[in-house]
Amino acid sequence: MKLTSKLIVATAALALTSTLAFAGSGPYNGTKDALDGGMTYPRANGVETAYSYNTQAMKKLNYGRVPTANELKAWDMDMMPDGTGYPEGSGSVEEGDELYEAQCASCHGEFGAGGKGYPTLAGGSVESLKNQRTCPGKDAPTRTFGSYWPQVSTLMWYIRDAMPYAHPKSFTNDELYAMTAYLLAANEITIDGEELDDEYVLNKEKLMKVKMPNRDGFYPNIDGPDGVENVRKFFANPKNYGAVGTRCMKDCGKEKIMRIGMEITNVVPPYSTVRDLPVEKETGSKSAAEKMYDASCVVCHKTDAMGAPAVGDHDAWATVMEQGIDKVNHNSINGLGGMPPKGGAMDLTDEQVKDIVKFMVESSK
């Protein structure tokens, strides 16, 4: 008894110590050394956190094959800020203007000014990026290609791969330069101090000289040999990115309550948690002949209970069809045995009856 309670005290003390020493440490023996400021976990002896894995050698598998030069050329098409991947070609602001009007303005608005619900491409200012709508009525920051994007390579690469929206990858290289020239002009961006007027012709060399207004508007600095280390330093301090909660448990303080002002309710499908039977939807897939069959013939022909050959009964209809389709059509129009002419549906034309017969025959094969 004494021993047990000692043990409990000892365990509790140990638990307390480890809580103090490794505050917040979890069950998987991780180390806080990941690039993103988080944890990495040991992978050894077939165990990684809660998972087991196969420890046999997995080297020299040699799957797949080396790509051909043409395959690499076809897919390695990305464009980078240093000009890597910029194609040969050229285009003027004026040519870009015409292309823009024809291919882009319907979504992005005249002169890239937006207003159609799709992204705004021109206007705004780097200065506006400091705007904060902390209170009602304040202006928003305007994040356009001209005011926000750090690199021009991104624009031309993206236009080539992803635009026009409905049929991407359809612009020629000359068109890409023309479009890029137009959007630089629409944003009043200069190259070597020169304004881009209508006659301005953009090419690879000139594009490499573009410095976007918000080039220095982003952190951490990811460029150059220290790029990754800058990222590591940035994430090492949670205060840099807002992961700054405090674990207060009592009398932490009261703040005001903000309720929903104008609730957004236009959601699709509408909100519902009801568990009932769904409303039957019109199939819409029935042919005209099947609809006429449903209206005029199904009562007798659904089963053979009334002596009529049942639709879907392969053998019964094979027997009927031994007479030939012309005879079957004739009997259907003029009546036979218990069946009145046209099954009693005298408003049907002869052709409609033939269509129905065809549906019944087809459905019974």
Partner 1 sequence: MSNISENNLESTSSRRDFFKKTAAYSVSAIAAAAVLAPAKLLADDENIIHHTKWGTTLGDELNKNPYGLPSKYEHNIVRRTSSLMSSAGDMHAAVSMTPLHELSGIITPNGLHFTRTHNGVAHVDPNKFRLMIHGLVEKPIVLTLDQLKQYPSESRTLFLECPANGAAEWKGPQFNSLQFVKGMMSNAEWTGVRLSVILDDLGLKPTAKWMLAEGSDGSEMSRTIPVEKVLDDAMIVWAQNGEALRPEQGYPVRLMLPGWEANLCIKYLKRLEFGKEPWYCKEETSKYTVLTKSGKAIQHFYPLEVNSIITSPCPEKPWKNLKKGQMIEIEGIAWSGHGTITNVDISLDGGDNYVEAQLKGLVLPKSWTRFSYMHKYDGKPMLIQSRSIDDSGNVQPSVSQEKDIIGVEGVYHRNSIVTWEIRKDGSVHNVQVRTDNCPA
| Residues between 184 and 203 that touch partner 1 (CB under 8 A) | none
Cβ at position 244, least distance to partner 1 in Å: 5
Number of residues that bind partner 1 (CB under 8 A): 122
Q: Which is nearer to partner 1, 26 or 344 (CB)?
A: 26
Distance, CA of 290 to CA of 285 (rounded, Å): 10
Q: What angle do CA 309, 314, 319 make, to 5 degrees?
A: 60
Nearest to 331 by CA among 302, 290, 291, 360: 360
Q: Sign of the CA dihedral 115, 117, 120, 123?
A: positive
Q: What is the C-alpha to C-alpha distance for residues 45 and 180, in angstroms, rounded to an integer?
A: 55
The CB-of-158 to partner 1 minimum distance in angstroms stands at 4
Q: Is 202 exposed, middle or buried (0-12, 13-18, 19+ CB in 10 A)?
A: buried
CA angle 217, 222, 227 (to 5 degrees): 145
Q: Judged by CB under 8 A, which of 70, 192, 199, 253 binds partner 1?
A: 253
- Binding positions for partner 1, 323-362, rule CB under 8 A: none
Helix (H, G, I), strand (E, B) or coil at 282: coil
Establish if 51 lies at the interface with partner 1 (CB under 8 A).
yes
Residues 231-250 within binding reach of partner 1 (CB under 8 A): 231, 234-235, 238-250
d(CA 215, CA 230): 17
Q: Least Å distance between CB 324 and partner 1?
A: 37
Work out the number of other CB atoms within 10 angstroms of the CB of residue 107: 16
Nearer to partner 1, 228 or 299 (CB): 228
Q: CB of 278 within 8 A of CB of 272?
A: no
Q: Which of residues 214-233 bind partner 1 (CB under 8 A)?
A: 217-220, 222-224, 227-228, 231
Within 10 angstroms of residue 101's Cβ, the number of other Cβ atoms is: 13
Residues 8, 12, 13, 34: which binds partner 1 (CB under 8 A)?
Answer: 34
C-beta closer to partner 1: residue 127 or 198: 127
Report in angstroms how near the CB of residue 251 gets to partner 1 at its nearest: 7
Q: Which CB, 245 or 338, lies closer to partner 1?
A: 245
Task: List all residues 6 or more positions away from 12 whose beta carbon is below 8 Å from its beta carbon.
Answer: none
Distance CA 146, CA 104 (A): 17
Hunting for tokens 């199939």 — which residue is that?
A: 283
- Kindly indicate which of the ranges 3-11, 155-163, 345-353, 354-362 contains the residues binding partner 1, using the contact rule CB under 8 A: 155-163
**189, 196 Cβ separation under 8 angstroms:** yes
Site for partner 1 in 64-103 (CB under 8 A): 64-67, 71-72, 75-76, 78, 80-82
Q: Is 50 in the site for partner 1 (CB under 8 A)?
A: yes
Q: What residue has token string 């194609």?
A: 87
274 is a contact residue toward partner 1 (CB under 8 A): yes
**Of the candidate residues 88, 192, 199, 263, the single one contacting partner 1 (CB under 8 A):** 263
Interface with partner 1, residue 32, by CB under 8 A: yes
Among 47, 113, 154, 329, binds partner 1 (CB under 8 A): 154
Binding mask 290-329 for partner 1 (x = CB under 8 A): ----------------------------------------
- Spatial CB neighbours of 39, under 8 Å, sequence gap ≥ 6: 26, 28, 30, 31, 32, 33
Which residue among 20, 262, 305, 346 contacts partner 1 (CB under 8 A)? 262
Q: Where in 118-137 is the site for partner 1 (CB under 8 A)?
A: 118-119, 126-127, 129-136
Minimum CB–partner distance for residue 176 and partner 1 (Å): 14
